[in-house]
């Protein structure tokens, strides 16, 4: 099977996109950090359904990792990723190296206020600046009609929608539903870090936040439901970073009874940090 074409430079990427544009074709983009799984591939299929051509980018972005985080350990396997993309009929893999993305003298940051102040922004300082900067660059480099991001990283999706709006970047941002294992664990490249015994505990994250969504739909107050969830998460062996009930558009904290909301959680299990979220009402 022939793999997808691979471009490693901004100029090569732009050349390809230009030739598609000359033929009147639309372009979709799916930015990733590689170690592709079904969650990524669902986004690729959604992009293929909407656009004539799809660019999948793979770039493990150093700027979004903290100094004590897993940048060096992050799983990388471009050969396998290219095979997976070829099987999905994807036409272009864009895989720049760090020097292409951050040439000497690089000194610009995209900072989104407000939405980034807590949740993952609270526990990962500078993370969202790194994400916003690299995604801005990827969108400017490729200039797609549509770019697709997973709801798995719900706060990230809202941050991206916000700077795209604020900076008038001409692209439609689309969110893709979370893809899960049969036992409820959200697919993540970081699941590979879990030991066998940790993997047995992992499904309870989704179970417990889903129960929060059910309780909220039955009228339980947001503070009360999230406190109960924190207690349960700790009891089964997670170290809780946060579990929160938020407005689904603004991420503003909610306290009493709610009609619509998002339940978001980040936990540590051994050395692995897991995030997940669900809608209230569930499955919306």
Q: Which is nearer to ligand AMP, 187 or 240 (CB)?
A: 187
Contact status, residue 280 vs residue 258, Cβ threshold 8 Å: yes
Whole-number Å distance between alpha carbons of 129 and 136: 10
Backbone angles phi and psi of 34, in degrees to 5: 80, -160
Instruction: Tell the smallest beta-carbon distance from residue 28 to ligand AMP (Å).
Output: 13
Give bridge partners of residue 243 from the DSSP assignment.
265
- Comparing every residue's Cβ against ligand AMP, the nearest one is 150
Q: Which is nearer to ligand AMP, 179 or 194 (CB)?
A: 179
Footprint of ligand AMP (CB under 6 A) = 32-33, 39-40, 42-43, 149-150, 152-153, 176, 178-179, 186-189
Is there a catalytic annotation at residue 127? no
Q: Which is nearer to ligand AMP, 130 or 254 (CB)?
A: 130
Q: Which of 37, 40, 111, 255 is catalytic?
A: 40
Q: Which residues of 141-179 are buried (b: 16+ CB within 10 A; e: fewer)?
A: bbbbbbbbbbbbbbbbbbbbbbbbeeeebebebbbbebb
Q: Which is nearer to ligand AMP, 183 or 227 (CB)?
A: 183
Instruction: Tell the smallest beta-carbon distance from residue 87 to ligand AMP (Å).
Output: 18
Instruction: Tell the smallest beta-carbon distance from residue 276 to ligand AMP (Å).
Output: 9
Instruction: Tell the smallest beta-carbon distance from residue 71 to ligand AMP (Å).
Output: 13
Burial of 279 (0-12, 13-18, 19+ CB in 10 A): middle
Q: What residues are annotated to the active site? A: 40
């Amino acid at each position: 099977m022939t793999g997808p074409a691979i471009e490693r430079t901004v100029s090569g990427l732009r050349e390809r996109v230009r030739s598609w544009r000359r033929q009147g074709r639309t372009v979709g983009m799916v930015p990733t950090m590689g170690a592709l799984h079904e969650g990524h591939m669902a986004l690729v299929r959604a992009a293929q359904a909407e656009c004539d051509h799809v660019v999948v980018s793979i770039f493990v972005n150093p700027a979004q990792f903290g100094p004590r985080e897993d940048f060096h350990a992050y799983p990388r396997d471009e050969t396998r990723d290219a095979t997976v993309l070829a099987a999905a009929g994807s036409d272009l893999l864009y895989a720049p190296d760090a020097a292409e993305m951050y040439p000497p003298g690089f000194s610009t940051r995209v900072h989104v206020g407000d939405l980034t102040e807590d949740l993952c922004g609270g526990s990962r300082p500078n993370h969202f600046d790194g994400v916003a900067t690299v995604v801005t660059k990827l969108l400017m480099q490729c200039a797609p009609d549509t770019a697709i991001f997973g709801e798995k990283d719900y706060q990230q999706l809202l941050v991206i929608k916000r700077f795209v709006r604020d900076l008038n970047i001409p692209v439609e941002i689309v969110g893709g539903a979370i893809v899960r294992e049969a036992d409820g664990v959200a697919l993540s490249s970081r699941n590979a870090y879990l030991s066998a015994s940790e993997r047995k505990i992992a499904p309870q994250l989704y179970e417990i936040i889903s129960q929060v969504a059910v309780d909220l739909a039955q009228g339980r107050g947001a503070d009360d439901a999230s406190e109960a969830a924190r207690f349960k998460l700790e009891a089964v062996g997670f170290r809780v970073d946060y579990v929160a009930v938020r407005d689904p558009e603004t991420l503003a904290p909610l306290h009493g009874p709610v009609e619509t909301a998002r339940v978001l959680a980040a936990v540590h299990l051994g050395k692995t940090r897991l995030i997940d979220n669900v809608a209230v009402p569930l499955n919306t």
